């Protein structure tokens, strides 16, 4: 049974959608599911989003947020290991890297760490040149229309 889709017919009739097709192909690949650290993605407005990650046990200087075009990477690594003999170790402070694919024109507006929750605010900012604009319609003479001659017409 075939589990992948063939997007090649779409390449023939579309221009500039290469990134979308690449995202669809990557989404169909089987990846190991890593659900740590837990996170929420929330839409807070028409063009604003929030990512909240539970990063208890990590200090602010142990977290790294890198924003690239169309990609947000959050990673953490514990600076030092706790000393002592553990009878039970239930707090996971293992290093992690979490990647988020971002749409065009989405940028990081800010980040904060409060009570073990890392909050990243995102905002979509469409450039003025790409926003819809109203086109004025002007009255132009019809190409087949002849101009009226004012005054006297010459006799032939």
Q: Is 66 within the bounds of a domain?
A: yes
Question: Do 77 and 11 reside in the same domain of the chain?
Answer: no
Q: Look at residue 1 in the predicted model and tell me its pLDDT.
A: 44
Q: Which two tokens stand for residue 108?
A: 């990081």
> Residue 54's domain spans which residues?
33-81+88-130
Question: Do 61 and 126 reside in the same domain of the chain?
Answer: yes
Q: Which two tokens stand for residue 118?
A: 């890392």
Q: Which of 94, 103, 96 is nearest to 122 (CA)?
A: 103
Q: Is 122 within the bounds of a domain?
A: yes
Question: Do 52 and 123 reside in the same domain of the chain?
Answer: yes
Q: 76 and 55 in contact (C-beta within 8 Å)?
A: yes
Question: Do 101 and 27 reside in the same domain of the chain?
Answer: no
Instruction: Compute the mean pLDDT over every residue in the chain, rounded to the nearest whole number.
Output: 79
Q: Which of 92, 80, 81 is nearest to 55 (CA)?
A: 92
Query: Given a cut of 60, is residue 2 above it in pLDDT?
Result: no
pTM above 0.85, yes or no: no
Total of domains in the chain: 2
Question: Do 5 and 75 reside in the same domain of the chain?
Answer: no
What are 7-56's pLDDT values in tens digits? 667 666 666 666 676 777 666 665 556 678 899 999 999 889 999 999 98
Question: Do 98 and 40 reside in the same domain of the chain?
Answer: yes
Q: Is 142 within the bounds of a domain?
A: no
Residues for the chain: how many in total? 156
Residue 116 sits in a domain whose CATH number is 2.60.40.790
């Amino acid at each position: 049974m075939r589990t992948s889709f063939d997007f090649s017919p779409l390449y023939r009739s579309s221009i500039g959608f290469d990134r979308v097709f690449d995202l669809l192909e990557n989404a169909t690949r089987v990846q190991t599911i890593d659900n740590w650290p837990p996170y929420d993605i929330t839409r807070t407005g028409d063009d604003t989003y929030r990512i909240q990650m539970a990063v208890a046990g990590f200090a602010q200087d142990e977290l790294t947020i890198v924003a690239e075009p169309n990609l947000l990477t959050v990673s953490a690594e514990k600076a030092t290991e706790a000393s002592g003999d553990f009878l039970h170790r239930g707090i996971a402070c293992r290093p992690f890297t979490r990647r988020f694919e971002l749409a065009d024109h989405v940028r990081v507006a800010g980040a904060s760490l409060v009570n073990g929750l890392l909050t990243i605010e995102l905002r979509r900012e469409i450039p003025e040149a790409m926003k819809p604009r109203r086109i004025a319609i002007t009255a132009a003479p019809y190409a087949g229309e002849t101009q009226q001659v004012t005054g006297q017409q010459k006799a032939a």
